[in-house]
C-alpha cells in the first residue's frame, strides 16, 4: 500500500511539471517604450512577460501598483506569419483537421463546426458555441456571441473553448451540436508572437482587440483596470512593464586568501578548496571583491580573468548577443571598439573621441554629446548610469539611429574566465589591457586603484580571491551517552531517526547546517549503541 501511494505521488508530480511553468514576474515601475522595456528585461531577467493561462493573467494584475491605471507592456508583439492555434494556448502542431471541402478559404481567422466539418468564419460573426470542462465534458451554449465573447464566456463559467486533437474528439463534440447550425469552437488563426519565442498561443484580448486597422500598433499592453485584458498599441508609447525570469548574474561568495602564490597555483588552490578563482559579472561584484580583501593589504590580488586564444566582439554590460548590425565590409580592422553611425556599426580605434550612448536601468538609452574615448565613455556611463549601451535587436538600434557617430558598448576582447563564464564584464585600469608583448596573461586587482584591473605575468606571487563554498568537508565523530530507566531500546531504528531529527532541529536553531549531514556510526554487530553498566563499591548492579 505504501509503495503504491509513493508511485502515485511521483507520477502526479511528473505530470504537473510537464504541463505547467511557474514564472517569476517582476513589475518595473518605470515608463519605457516597448523596445526599451524589452532591452531592460533581457539585461536584468529573461525577457518581457510571457503568459500561459488565466492564472498567469491574475498574477500579473496583482503585482501592478494599485495606483497605476495605465497600460503595462507584456512580451506579445505582432509577427509576420499567421498560424493556426487553439484558444487554450496549444500550437496547432497536430496533423488532424476536418475542413469542409474548399475550407479554409482565407476569408477569416476563427473556426466553427457545421455538423462536424470545419469552416473558417469572421470572428465578429455571432454564433452558438461550445465550451469544455477540465474533465473533457463538452457543453453547447445556445446564445449567439462573436468568437472573442464566446471565449470569455467559456473561461468565466467553464474552462475554455474546446480543443480537438483527433477524430474521436471531433465525433464526441459533434454529438452535442445542433444540425444545420454553425458552432464556434477553439481554433483560430493568429500572427502575434512572444518576445522570448515561446510557442504557446494563449491570448486574453479586450473587446474589439486585436484591431484589423492599419497602424493600430504592433506591441501589446495589459490593462489592470480591465481585468488584465490586452490591447495592441504603438511600441513608442512609454508604459510601466513586467519582466519574467530569475535575476541575471550569479551571487558569489568570495574568500580572500592572504598567501602569495602564482596565478596557476592560486587557481589550483581555489579549485581544490572552493570553486575557482574569483569571477565578477558587474560593478556590484567588483565592489564586493575590493571589500573582501583584508584592510591591511595594499598590493594586487589575483582574480580569475586570463588571456585566451580567441578574439570576440563582446558587450561592456556583459551578456553576449547574437544580434549584429555591421555596415558592409565591417569590421575592417580599424580598431577594437565600435561606433554606431546612421544605424550601422563600424570598428574604430578606442582612443578616438566621440559622443556615446549609455544605458540606464530606470530610463533606458541616454545619448551624451560630450566626446570621450571609449574607455572614458564606459567609465562615465558606469558612474552616472549603468553602462555603455548594449543593442540586441533592430528595434533597439532604431532607438539610437543617429547621423552622428556614437560609441556603443561593443568591443574586441580575448580575455576569459577560468569557468569559461560567457559574461564579458571588465573593470580595467587606465591604459589596460596593454597591447605590448610580454605584458602578462593573468589579471590582478589593485587595492590602491579602487579595485581596477591590470594584466601581470602569471609567475608573480600575489594573494588571491576564490569564489564558492569551502568544499573541504570536515568529518567529526561525536560520542553521545544516554541514560535510561528500565528497558533501553536505543537501537530501535525508529527511535534513532527521531533522535537525529531532534539533534538536526537544535543545530538549525543555532544557525548550523545540518540537513542530510549527520548520521549514526555503527560498530560491531551493526549496532549504534552499546550498553554501559555502572558499578559502585556498594553494589554489584
Give the model's pLDDT for residue 471.
59
Q: In the predicted model, is pLDDT for residue 173 greater than 70?
A: yes
pLDDT tens digit string along 422-437? 567 889 888 888 766 6
CATH number for 222: 3.10.100.10
Give the model's pLDDT for residue 370.
93
416 shares a domain with 321: yes
182 shares a domain with 240: no
Q: Which helix (H) or strand (E) holds 296?
A: none
Q: In the predicted model, is pLDDT for residue 20 greater than 50?
A: no
383 shares a domain with 373: yes
> Quick count: other Cβ atoms within 10 Å of Cβ 138?
18
Nearest alpha carbon to residue 164 among 53, 83, 81, 87: 87
Domain final residue pick, 174, 192, 210: 192
212 shares a domain with 73: yes
422 belongs to a structural domain: yes
Could you give the number of structural domains in the chain? 4
Residue 167 has, within 13 A of its CA and on its CB side, a CA count of 0
Give the model's pLDDT for residue 218.
85
pLDDT tens digit string along 128-167? 999 988 777 889 999 999 998 998 899 888 988 988 888 8
Nearest alpha carbon to residue 257 among 442, 457, 466: 466
Domain final residue pick, 244, 270, 285: 244
420 shares a domain with 323: yes
**192 in Cβ contact with 109 (< 8 Å):** no
pLDDT tens digit string along 74-128? 999 988 778 888 888 787 766 788 888 888 887 788 899 988 889 888 888 999 9
| Distance from chain centroid for Cα 3 | 37
Q: Rounded CA gap, 20 and 158, in Å?
A: 19
Nearest alpha carbon to residue 63 among 21, 28, 34: 28
167 shares a domain with 213: no
278 belongs to a structural domain: no
The mean pLDDT value of the chain amounts to: 81
SS percent in the chain: helix, strand, coil, step 5: 20, 30, 45
Q: What is the mean pLDDT of residues 296-322?
A: 84
The residue among 252 and 115 whose pLDDT is bigger is 115
208 shares a domain with 68: yes
8 belongs to a structural domain: no
Domain final residue pick, 427, 459, 493: 427
Q: In the predicted model, is pLDDT for residue 344 greater than 80?
A: yes
491 belongs to a structural domain: yes
**308 in Cβ contact with 414 (< 8 Å):** yes
403 belongs to a structural domain: yes
Q: Rounded CA gap, 348 and 373, in Å?
A: 11
215 shares a domain with 182: no
170 shares a domain with 128: yes
206 belongs to a structural domain: yes
Nearest alpha carbon to residue 76 among 102, 56, 98: 56
39 belongs to a structural domain: yes
199 shares a domain with 344: no
Nearest alpha carbon to residue 257 among 488, 20, 463, 539: 463
296 belongs to a structural domain: no
Task: Read off the pLDDT band of 479 (50, 70, 90).
Answer: confident
Q: What is the mean pLDDT of residues 428-452?
A: 84
For residue 520, the enclosing domain spans: 477-533
423 shares a domain with 314: yes
316 shares a domain with 420: yes
Cell, residue 290: 575590493
The angle at the Cα of 100, spanning 94 to 102, to the nearest 5 degrees, equals 105
Give the model's pLDDT for residue 406.
94
User: Is residue 377 classed as helix, strand or coil in its secondary structure?
Assistant: helix
Cell, residue 368: 551624451
Q: In the predicted model, is pLDDT for residue 269 greater than 70?
A: yes
Q: Which helix (H) or strand (E) holds 276?
A: strand 276-277
> Quick count: other Cβ atoms within 10 Å of Cβ 524?
6
User: Is residue 143 classed as helix, strand or coil in its secondary structure?
Assistant: strand
**112 in Cβ contact with 84 (< 8 Å):** no
Amino acid at each position: 500500500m505504501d509503495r503504491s501511494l509513493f508511485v502515485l505521488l511521483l507520477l502526479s508530480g511528473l505530470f504537473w511539471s510537464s504541463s505547467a511553468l511557474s514564472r517569476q514576474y517582476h513589475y518595473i515601475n518605470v515608463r519605457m517604450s516597448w523596445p526599451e522595456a524589452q532591452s531592460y528585461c533581457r539585461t536584468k531577467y529573461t525577457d518581457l512577460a510571457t503568459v500561459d493561462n488565466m492564472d498567469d493573467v491574475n498574477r500579473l494584475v496583482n503585482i501592478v501598483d494599485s495606483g497605476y491605471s495605465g497600460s503595462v507592456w507584456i512580451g506579445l508583439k505582432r509577427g509576420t506569419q499567421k498560424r493556426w492555434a487553439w484558444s487554450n494556448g496549444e500550437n496547432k502542431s497536430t496533423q488532424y483537421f476536418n475542413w469542409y471541402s474548399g475550407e479554409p478559404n482565407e476569408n477569416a481567422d476563427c473556426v466553427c463546426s457545421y455538423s462536424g466539418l470545419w469552416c473558417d468564419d469572421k470572428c465578429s460573426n455571432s454564433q452558438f458555441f461550445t465550451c469544455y470542462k477540465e474533465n473533457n465534458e463538452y457543453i453547447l451554449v445556445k446564445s449567439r456571441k462573436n468568437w472573442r465573447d464566446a471565449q470569455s464566456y467559456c473561461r468565466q463559467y467553464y474552462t475554455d473553448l474546446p480543443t480537438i486533437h483527433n477524430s474521436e474528439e471531433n465525433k464526441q463534440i459533434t454529438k452535442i451540436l445542433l444540425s444545420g447550425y454553425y458552432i464556434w469552437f477553439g481554433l483560430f488563426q493568429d500572427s502575434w508572437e512572444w518576445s522570448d519565442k515561446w510557442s504557446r498561443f494563449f491570448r486574453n484580448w479586450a473587446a474589439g482587440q486585436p484591431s484589423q486597422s492599419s497602424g493600430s500598433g504592433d506591441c501589446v499592453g495589459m490593462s489592470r483596470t480591465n481585468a488584465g485584458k490586452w490591447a495592441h498599441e504603438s511600441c513608442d508609447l512609454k508604459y510601466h512593464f513586467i519582466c519574467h525570469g530569475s535575476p541575471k548574474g550569479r551571487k558569489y561568495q568570495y574568500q580572500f586568501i592572504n598567501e602569495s602564490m602564482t596565478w596557476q597555483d592560486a587557481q589550483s588552490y581555489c579549485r581544490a578548496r572552493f570553486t575557482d578563482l574569483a569571477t565578477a559579472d558587474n560593478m556590484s561584484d567588483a565592489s564586493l571583491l575590493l571589500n573582501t580583501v583584508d584592510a591591511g593589504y595594499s598590493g594586487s590580488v589575483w582574480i580569475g580573468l586570463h588571456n585566451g586564444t580567441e578574439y570576440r566582439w563582446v558587450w561592456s554590460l556583459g551578456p553576449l548577443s547574437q544580434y549584429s548590425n555591421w555596415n558592409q565590409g565591417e569590421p575592417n580592422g580599424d580598431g577594437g571598439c565600435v561606433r554606431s553611425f546612421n544605424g550601422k556599426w563600424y570598428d574604430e580605434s578606442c582612443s578616438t573621441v566621440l559622443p556615446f550612448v549609455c544605458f540606464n536601468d530606470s530610463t533606458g538609452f541616454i545619448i551624451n554629446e560630450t566626446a570621450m574615448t571609449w574607455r572614458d565613455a564606459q567609465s562615465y556611463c558606469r558612474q552616472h548610469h549603468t553602462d555603455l549601451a548594449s543593442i540586441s535587436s533592430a528595434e533597439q538600434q532604431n532607438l539610437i539611429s543617429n547621423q552622428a557617430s556614437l560609441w556603443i558598448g561593443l568591443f574586441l576582447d580575448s580575455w576569459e574566465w577560468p569557468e569559461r563564464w560567457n559574461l564579458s564584464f571588465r573593470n580595467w585600469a587606465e591604459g589596460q589591457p596593454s597591447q605590448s608583448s610580454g605584458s602578462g596573461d593573468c589579471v590582478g586587482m589593485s587595492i590602491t586603484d579602487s579595485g581596477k584591473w591590470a594584466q601581470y605575468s602569471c609567475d608573480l606571487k600575489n594573494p588571491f580571491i576564490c569564489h564558492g563554498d569551502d568544499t573541504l568537508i570536515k568529518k567529526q565523530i561525536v560520542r553521545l551517552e544516554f541514560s535510561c530507566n528500565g528497558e533501553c531500546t536505543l537501537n530501535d531504528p525508529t527511535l534513532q531517526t527521531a533522535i537525529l531529527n531532534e539533534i538536526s532541529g537544535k543545530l538549525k536553531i543555532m544557525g548550523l547546517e545540518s540537513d542530510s549531514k549527520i548520521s549514526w556510526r555503527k560498530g560491531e554487530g551493526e549496532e549504534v549503541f552499546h550498553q554501559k553498566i555502572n558499578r559502585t563499591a556498594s553494589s554489584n548492579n
